[in-house]
Amino acid sequence: MVKQEFSEALVHCWPEYLDGPLWVTKEAVGDTLEELWISYNLIEKLKGIKCMKNLKVLYMSNNLVKDWSEFVRLGELPCLVDLVFVGNPLEEKHSAEGTWMDEACKRLPNLKKLDGTPVIKQEEDEGEGES
């Protein structure tokens, strides 16, 4: 199998995964797309994701993203509130260490749901409100 970058995966949806060929350009849907399901696509890089300005939901489980430097590109999506990232090497490593939720939410503070789990924000100033 050939590994693909995110932008390549959007430009070419290969027939092996669909009933027939489908050509989609990220520029054509970037301004309006609100949900994108791209799990199981061997994606390593998230180059080009920033054109998805209105993306709220991104399901990209079981891909090949292994570095925080790629993960933080998701921070370029101002509307992203729901992310499924389980099964990527980055998530697997940090879940095994027990740090995944904290580290991912620190890098994407606007998330409301991560891997199907609601994100609970801790008070930034725990002493706030005390007299």
pLDDT in tens, 7-24: 555 544 433 343 333 335
pTM score, whole prediction: 0.75
Q: What is the pLDDT of residue 19?
A: 38
Distance from C-alpha of 79 to C-alpha of 25, rounded to nearest angstrom: 20
Q: List, in sequence order, every residue forming a beta bridge with 4; answer none if it has no partner.
A: 43
CB 70 within 8 A of CB 92: no
Q: Helix 100-107 crosses helix 89-97 at what angle (to 10 degrees)?
A: 120
Domain count, the chain: 1
Instruction: Report the mean per-residue pLDDT for the chain.
Output: 81
Domain enclosing residue 79, as ranges: 6-118
Reported as a pLDDT band with limits 50, 70 and 90, residue 5 is: low
User: Domain with 25 in it: what CATH number?
Assistant: 3.80.10.10
How many angstroms separate the Cα of 130 from the Cα of each of 89, 121, 125, 126, 127?
42, 19, 10, 9, 6
pLDDT at 26 over 90: no
